[in-house]
């Protein structure tokens, strides 16, 4: 599937094609930055869009009311040029949740989630996150052979944390992983897109129904209980919010943990600094978020008017992607050493959790998980190294995540 150029869109030859197979993620981010603050891009499936690639311009656009989440503002969508089975359609149009609306509706749909994830509630999760981390480390094999740390540690930790937050029982979690992998993959065949979304919706609906019958202390029960309040969620809003929370609640945190290990392995001087106690694990988390932003390209907003960006104009009716991967190493924001992984960087004012009204609602939780997990991992396995050269690590086929397929490591001896 490939679309004809839309009126007002730049000539296809001048668009930077985002590689669906993610062969060279850092090179792609560098090309995006070099194309200026507003780069013309082509998303998988030949869909034209614009990408903001620098921090100052991104901050301005993320608080600009002329940019909206309502897919009805996308002229290509209204003209019927975006097929319903476009593999990335779920990121633009997955129903009604805080992710797809603005203004008062956004505040209403975000409020209960924000309350459940405020800093006091997240601080209360520390003991459980610590316990889960210890259990996962205890379960790692100790036969000296390579271990896929992503599957054995980086994925199950955030998956369990968000599942417990939402009240998802252990039996359902493996199924979720497969559904969300298909949801995010650029390799998903158009014929599979609708069926996968239908299954995600059915699973979320059955989760909500279970909580309606037997409420618990989880966030799903809180969302269901809004039906008795002055600001009720509709059934569709409950289902879409569940899908949003579970999907965004683990995937990006997995990237954070995996990318932190890769960065520390490539920079032993930085690992030595944190191991000596000179710098805290919080600095490793922040620098990894900046240097290897988990959301490489965030879909998607639409311009309701022409919006000048640098020397270009984002035309009314066009789609905007926020390229957090490119923005993280913006020299105008982070100086000439923006391309260095430096955990002593201070201040480290990245925007990898977004900015403005839609800023990540799970940021405090993700930061806590990162700090607890990395400190415990390197505390237990101080000599942990990659089991293959870094060049052999491959990315998952998704233009939205900076996600490795697997993370083979040698754990080395465990400390008692
Ligand atoms: C390292 C981990 C994470 C990163 C890097 C991350 C990044 C982001 C970014 C960049 C946005 C908004 C961007 C935009 O609108 O342009 C966002 C929004 C969101 N995130 Fe996260 N996130 C992470 C973890 C989490 C966790 C753990 C949860 C939930 C448990 C979560 C839930 C959400 C939700 C619900 C939104 C939508 C907020 C809204 O539209 O109002 N995220 N995240």
Mean of pLDDT values over 310-328: 97
Task: Say which residues have a Cβ less than 8 Å from residue 276's Cβ, sequence separation at least 6.
Answer: none
Q: Ligand 1 mean position to 141 CA, how many Å?
A: 32
Fold of 12-410: Cytochrome p450 (1.10.630)
pLDDT at 204 over 60: yes
Q: Which two tokens stand for residue 64?
A: 């600009």
Q: What is the mean pLDDT of the chain?
A: 93
Percent of the chain with pLDDT over 90: 80
Q: Ligand 1 mean position to 366 CA, how many Å?
A: 9
Verify whether ligand 1 is closer than 6 Å to residue 384 (CB atom).
Answer: no
State the Cα–Cα distance between residues 126 and 117, nearest whole angstrom: 12
pLDDT at 173 over 80: no
Express the helix, strand and coil content of the chain in percent, nearest 5 each: 50, 10, 40
Give the domain ranges of the chain: 12-410
Q: Ligand 1 mean position to 358 CA, how many Å?
A: 8
Instruction: State which of 163, 360, 368, 374 you would mutate to test the pocket of ligand 1, scoring each by most atoms of that ligand within 8 A of its C-beta.
Output: 360
Mean of pLDDT values over 208-231: 91
DSSP strand pairing (319-322 vs 298-303): antiparallel
Question: Among 85-94, 129-138, 277-286, 383-392, which is the least confidently predicted range?
Answer: 85-94
Q: For 86-136, how does the pLDDT look when each residue is reduced to its tens digit (9 = 90+)? A: 888 888 887 899 999 999 999 999 999 999 999 999 999 999 999 999 999
Q: Which two tokens stand for residue 271?
A: 């690992």
pLDDT at 6 over 60: no
Res 43: pLDDT:
95
Mean of pLDDT values over 269-281: 97
Verify whether ligand 1 is closer than 6 Å to residue 353 (CB atom).
Answer: yes
**18: nearest Cα among 40, 43, 55, 45:** 43
Q: Could you identify the atom of ligand 1 that is nearest to the CA of residue 369?
A: 27
DSSP structure class, residue 185: -
Res 3: pLDDT:
47
Verify whether ligand 1 is closer than 6 Å to residue 407 (CB atom).
Answer: no
State the Cα–Cα distance between residues 353 and 245, nearest whole angstrom: 15
Contact 408, 147 (CB under 8 A): yes
Res 304: pLDDT:
98
Q: Ligand 1 mean position to 116 CA, how many Å?
A: 14
| Exposed/middle/buried for residue 160 (C-beta within 10 Å: 0-12, 13-18, 19+) | buried
Q: Could you identify the atom of ligand 1 that is nearest to the CA of residue 117?
A: 30
Q: Ligand 1 mean position to 15 CA, how many Å?
A: 28
- Total-model pTM: 0.95
Q: Could you identify the atom of ligand 1 that is nearest to the CA of residue 298?
A: 16
Task: Say which residues have a Cβ less than 8 Å from residue 259's Cβ, sequence separation at least 6.
Answer: 288, 291, 292, 294, 402, 404
Signed CA dihedral, 250, 347, 310, 325: sign only: negative
């Amino acid at each position: 599937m490939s679309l004809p150029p839309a009126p007002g869109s730049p000539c296809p030859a001048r668009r930077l094609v985002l590689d669906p197979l993610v062969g060279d993620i850092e090179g792609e981010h560098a090309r995006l930055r070099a194309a200026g603050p507003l780069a013309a891009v082509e998303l998988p499936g030949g869909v034209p869009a614009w990408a903001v690639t620098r921090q100052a311009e991104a901050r301005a656009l993320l608080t600009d009311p002329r940019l909206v989440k309502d897919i009805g503002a996308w002229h290509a969508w209204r003209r019927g040029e975006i097929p319903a089975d476009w593999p990335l359609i779920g990121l633009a149009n997955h129903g009604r949740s805080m992710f797809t609306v603005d203004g008062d509706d956004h505040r209403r749909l975000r409020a209960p989630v924000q309350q459940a994830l405020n800093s006091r509630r997240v601080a209360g999760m520390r003991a459980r996150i610590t316990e889960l981390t210890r259990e996962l480390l205890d379960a790692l094999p100790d036969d000296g052979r390579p271990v896929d740390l992503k599957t054995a540690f980086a994925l199950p930790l955030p998956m369990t944390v968000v599942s417990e937050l939402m009240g998802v029982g252990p039996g359902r979690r493996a199924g979720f992983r497969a559904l969300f992998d298909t949801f995010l993959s650029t390799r998903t065949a158009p014929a599979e897109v609708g069926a996968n979304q239908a299954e995600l919706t059915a699973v979320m609906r059955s989760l909500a129904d279970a909580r309606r019958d037997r409420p618990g202390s989880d966030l799903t029960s809180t969302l269901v209980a809004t039906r008795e309040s002055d600001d009720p969620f509709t059934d569709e809003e409950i289902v879409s919010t569940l899908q949003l929370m579970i999907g965004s609640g683990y995937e990006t945190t997995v990237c954070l943990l995996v990318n932190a290990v890769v960065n520390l392995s490539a920079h032993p001087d930085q690992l030595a600094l944190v191991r000596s106690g000179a710098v805290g694990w919080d600095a490793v988390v922040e620098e990894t978020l900046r240097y290897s932003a988990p959301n490489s390209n965030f879909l998607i907003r639409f311009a309701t008017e022409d919006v000048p960006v640098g020397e270009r104009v984002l035309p009314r009716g066009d789609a905007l992607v926020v390229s957090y991967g490119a923005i993280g190493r913006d020299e105008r924001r982070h100086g000439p050493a923006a391309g260095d992984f430096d955990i002593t960087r201070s201040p480290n004012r990245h925007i990898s959790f977004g900015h403005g009204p839609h800023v990540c609602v799970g940021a405090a939780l993700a930061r806590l998980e990162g700090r607890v997990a990395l400190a415990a991992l390197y505390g237990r396995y101080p000599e942990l190294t990659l089991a293959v050269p870094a060049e052999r690590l491959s990315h998952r086929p998704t233009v939205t995540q900076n996600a490795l397929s697997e993370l083979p490591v040698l754990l080395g001896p465990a400390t008692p």
